[in-house]
Structure 1
Amino acid sequence: MHLPGTARVTPSGELAIGGVTAAALAERFGTPLFVYDEALIREQCRRFHRALQATGLDYQVSYASKAFLCRALARLMAEEGMGLDVVSGGELYTALSAGFNPAHIHLHGNNKLDTELRQALDAGVGCYVVDSLDEIARLNTLAGEAGTQARCLLRVTPGVEAHTHSFIQTGAEDSKFGLNLGNGQAAQGLRAMLDAPHLDVLGIHFHIGSQIFSTEGTLAALARVLEWLAQQRADYGFTAQVLNVGGGFGIRYTDADQPQPLEDALAEIAAALRAGTAEHDLPLPQLWLEPGRSVVGEAGWTLYRVGTVKAIAGVRNYVSVDGGMSDHIRTALYGAEYEVALANRMDEAAADSYTVVGKLCESGDVVARDKPLPHPQPGDLLAVSCTGAYHYAMSSRYNAMLRPAVVFVQDGQAREVVRRETLEDLVRGQE
C-alpha cells in the first residue's frame, strides 16, 4: 500500500498516521473513524502557494469546501492563507461559525436560494459565482435591498469535456452548471450583469471537472475563454480582472492513477494564460483557483473493524466491516477504486483476494473489490487510504447509521474535530 504524508508502518507491523497508530486511534475514538493527516493538508496548501508564487502572477487560491468541511478545517485553511469556496447556506454557516473571514469566501451553486443569497449578503461574502440567467436579476435586487454591490464572477461552460467520470464533468455543453459560450448564453449573461447596478463584475469562472490528470482540457478551455473575452471587450468594452479556472487536480488512489504534479500543471496554466492574453492583447488577469480533493484527499484515512468473513468457493471472498456506503459512497456511485490494508498486520503478505463490503442492506454496498489481503479475522482493523475528499462530506444516515467521528493527527497527537453521532442525534428533531 502506498503511504502518503506521514503514514508509516511501525517496527511491529502497525499502520501509524501522524505518529499515532491506527490501533490506538480505534481504541480511543472507535470505528468507523475518519483520520486526517494534518501535516499533509498543510503541506498541500503550501504547495499551491509556492507553485503559484513561482508563476509571478497575482493569484488567489480558495479551498473547495464541498470536498470536506468542518470548523477545524476552516480554521486551518485560514491559517494557511486559503480562501474558501462554499456552495450552500450550510457550508457558509459552518465557515462563519468557525470565524472564517467572509471577505475571503466565494458563494457557488447552480440554484442559490434567496435565503442563501441574503445570508451571504448579510455576512459580507467576498464574491458570488453567478451560474444562471435567473440568478442575475435576483442577486441584483437582493444586493440593492442590502445597500451593497455584489462582487461577481460569471460562470461559463466552455464546451470542453474532461477525461473523467461523466458525473464529475462540469465544463461540457450539456451541463447544469454555468452559461454556454457557444450558444450565446454567456454573452447574454455578461451583458445583463454589466447592466445590473448592484453587481460588480470582476471576471469569469470556468471548471471542466474533477480528478483530472493533465492540463490538456484546462488549456483548451482557457484558449476558448480568452478568445471569447477578446470578443466581449470588442462588443461591450468588458475587461476581466479575474479568471478563475476552478480546480479538479487529480490525486493518486491506486497505482493506476498517474496525476500530473500540481507544480507542473500550474506552471503550464500560467504560461498558457500569459501567452493567450498576449495573443489577444488582453491585460493579464488575476489567476484564481479552487482545489478541493487535491488538498485533503490523500490526507484522509478510514478505519473499520472487521466483522464477518465469507468465502464462496470459486466465486469471491467477502470481508464485512462496520461501516459501508453510508460513509463510503464513491465506490457505489462512481466505481471508484481504493487501496485497503489490515492496519494491525501491515507487514504480512497477502494470502488471497477479498472484496470489502459494508453492513448496509444493499448489494452495491462495496468499499473495495477484489483486493489482496492477508486472511482477515474478525476484530482486525482495516484501513482505506485516500478517503479525505467526498467521504464524510457525502455520508448519510441510510439504515439509520451514525456518522463517524473525525480526528486530526499530527506529531503524535490526536484531536477529535467532529464527534461521533449518537442514537440521540439520530432522532433529534423527530416528533
Structure 2
Amino acid sequence: MTLLDIFPSLRATTVPRLDPAVWPADTHYDPDGRITLGTVALADLADQYGTPVQVIDEAEVRARCRAYRRHFPSTEIIYAGTALMVGAVARWVAEEGLSVQVGSSGELSVALAAGIAPRRIVLHGDGKTFDELKTAVDSGVGRIVVGAISEITLLAALATEPQQILLRVDPGIDVDRGVHHGFPLGSSSLETAVARIAGQPNLRLTGLHCHLGGQIHNPDHYGEAIRRMIGEMAWIDNEYGLLLSHLDIGGGHAIAYRGGDAELNLTELADILDDALDAGCARHRFPRPVLAMEPGRAIVARAGITLYRVLSVTDTGEGGARVIVDGGGCGQGSGYGAVVVNRHPTGPQRIATIAGKHSEAGDLIARDVRIPADLRAGEILALPCTGAYHHGLASTYRTVGRPPIVAVADGRSTPLLRRETIADLLMRELG
C-alpha cells in the first residue's frame, strides 16, 4: 500500500500537468490517473474502437479557428484541408467562418459532400490535371490557384463563365531551402502568365498567392513576402490595368510537436502583417488588398491524439527499450512524444524508441521518448499532436487497413471514419 492509497487527495499533487503546447486544452488526468479528453478516458476509446485509432477533439479545432478569427478579424482564414480532409472537420471550420482549401478532386469531393458552399472553396496544388480543373470549374469553386502556363491553357478551354484566378508566385524568400513554388516575381514567365489570363474573356485574375514552406516560426518572412508581392501587384496594375484585390500568403505556420519547440506567435504575426500591408501599399501607392492565409496544421494538429496498444517491450541495453505497437508509422514520426494513458506511472522511467509492427528501421513512430520502466504489453500509448497529416499519410503497407477517426465532443465520442478492412482492400482486386 502506498501513500496515494492511504491519502487519495495527494494524487492530484503527484500527477504532472500535460504539456499544453502539444495536448488539447481539455486534456487532463482523472482521479484514477487515466488521461481524459474532456470527460472521456482515452483508454476507454481504445477499448471501444480498437487500436490504432485517431481521436480528434472538436472543441480544440473550433477554438483554434476562433483564435485565428480573433487575431485576424479582417483577413480571410482558409483552412488548408490537406492537413486533415474529413467531412466533419470541414463542416466544423466552415461553421466557424473559415473557407476551405483543397488540393485534389478527392478533397474537393469531400468538401462538397460536407455541404461547403463552392464559392468558399479554393483549389490549388502543383500539377493539376485536366480532370481536376474540370471538376473544379463544373463545381463552381470560388478561386483556383494557378502555378503553370499549361493550367491557364486548360482553364481557358474549360471556363464557360467567369472564373476567379490567383497566380501562385515565388517571392524569393528562402525559408527552409525547400522547393520554391510558383512563378518567380519579376520573371518573364510571370509576365507571360498575366498576359495569358488577361487575354481570356472568362478568366479573372483577382490576386496573387504564395507558399513559403512549412513549420515557419519567424513572422518576418510573411511580412517581407507581402511587401514584395504588393510591388508586383502594382506593376500588374500599371502594365495591364488589372487592379488585383486579393493577396493570399499561404500557410506553413509552425506548431510544437514537443514541449519547447518553436511556434508561430499569432499576435506578432498580426502586427507584422498589418505593418507590411501599410508599408507596401504606401510605397507603391496601391490600395490595400484583401488578405488571406491558409493555416492547416495549426488548426488540427494539436486536436489529434493517436492511440496504440503495446505489443512488446524489448531491452536494448544501457537502460533503453524498443517498444512495438499495433499500428504503423506514417512518415511523420520521431518528433512526437508518447505517454501511457491507462494509468499514471509514478516509478522510474527509461528512454525508448516506439515502432509500429509493420515499420522498417527508418520509419519510426517516436524516438527517444520517456516511458515507464515497467511498461508492459497490453497498455495504451498516446501520441499527441497527430491531427495534421497523420491520417492523410497513412498507407496500406503490407495490406493493413488504415485506422478509424473518432471525434470527441461534450463528453461523447462519434466515429467519423471507420476502420479500413481487408474486405475493403480486396475490393480493388480484379484478377
- TM-score, normalised by the number of residues in structure 1: 0.91
Indicate conservation of the 8 Å contact 2:403/2:418, yes or no. Answer: yes
- The whole-number CA distance in structure 2 between the counterparts of 1:303 and 1:73 is 19
Indicate conservation of the 8 Å contact 2:406/2:414, yes or no. Answer: yes
2:192 corresponding residue in structure 1? 188
Offset at 1:19?
Answer: 1.8
User: Pick from 4, 26, 34: which aligns with 2:54?
Assistant: 34
3-state SS of 1:257 partner: coil
1:229 corresponding residue in structure 2? 233
3-state SS of 1:296 partner: helix
1:415 corresponding residue in structure 2? 414
Tell whether 2:349 aligns with 1:360.
no
- The whole-number CA distance in structure 2 between the counterparts of 1:276 and 1:350 is 57
For residues 263-318 of structure 1, give each alpha carbon's deviation from its aligned partner in whole angstroms, at most 9, with x where no partner exists. 33123212211221112110000011111000001110000000011112238410
User: Pick from 44, 53, 67: which aligns with 2:83?
Assistant: 67
Indicate conservation of the 8 Å contact 2:219/2:268, yes or no. Answer: no
- The whole-number CA distance in structure 2 between the counterparts of 1:423 and 1:319 is 26
Offset at 1:93?
Answer: 0.7
- The whole-number CA distance in structure 1 between the counterparts of 2:202 and 2:67 is 37
3-state SS of 1:287 partner: strand
Offset at 1:362?
Answer: 1.2
1:380 corresponding residue in structure 2? 379
> What code does the residue aligned with 1:85 have?
Q
Offset at 1:347?
Answer: 4.6
- CA 151–324 in structure 1, closer or farther in 2 if over 3 Å, else same: same
Aligned pairs (5 A) from 1:333-344: 337-344=335-342
For residues 111-148 of structure 1, give each alpha carbon's deviation from its aligned partner in whole angstroms, at most 9, with x where no partner exists. 111111111111111110011111111101110xxx21
For residues 59-94 of structure 1, give each alpha carbon's deviation from its aligned partner in whole angstroms, at most 9, with x where no partner exists. 311110000011111211221111110010000111
- CA 371–234 in structure 1, closer or farther in 2 if over 3 Å, else same: same
Indicate conservation of the 8 Å contact 1:158/1:182, yes or no. Answer: no
- The whole-number CA distance in structure 1 between the counterparts of 2:359 and 2:283 is 58
- TM-score, normalised by the number of residues in structure 2: 0.91
Q: Which runs of 5+ in 1 are unaligned?
A: none
Offset at 1:254?
Answer: 1.0
3-state SS of 1:254 partner: coil
Aligned pairs (5 A) from 1:151-190: 151-163=164-176, 169=178, 174-175=179-180, 177-190=181-194
1:329 corresponding residue in structure 2? 331
> What code does the residue aligned with 2:39 have?
G
- The whole-number CA distance in structure 1 between the counterparts of 2:199 and 2:24 is 50
Aligned pairs (5 A) from 1:252-331: 252-314=256-318, 316-325=320-329, 328-331=330-333
Aligned pairs (5 A) from 1:52-201: 52-53=72-73, 57=74, 59-143=75-159, 147-163=160-176, 169=178, 174-175=179-180, 177-201=181-205
3-state SS of 1:298 partner: helix
For residues 11-56 of structure 1, give each alpha carbon's deviation from its aligned partner in whole angstroms, at most 9, with x where no partner exists. 2111111321011101111110100111010000111111111xxx
Offset at 1:350?
Answer: 4.8
Runs of 4 or more above 4 Å deviation: none
Tell whether 2:219 aligns with 1:220.
no
CA RMSD, 1 decimal: 1.5
3-state SS of 2:302 partner: coil
3-state SS of 2:366 partner: strand
How many residues are aligned here?
Answer: 409
For residues 366-408 of structure 1, give each alpha carbon's deviation from its aligned partner in whole angstroms, at most 9, with x where no partner exists. 1111111102100010000000001001111011111111011
- The whole-number CA distance in structure 2 between the counterparts of 1:412 and 1:74 is 21
Q: Which runs of 5+ in 2 are unaligned?
A: 1-17
1:19 corresponding residue in structure 2? 39
Indicate conservation of the 8 Å contact 2:328/2:359, yes or no. Answer: no
- The whole-number CA distance in structure 1 between the counterparts of 2:212 and 2:199 is 28
For residues 187-235 of structure 1, give each alpha carbon's deviation from its aligned partner in whole angstroms, at most 9, with x where no partner exists. 2211211122110111100110111112122122222212222222232
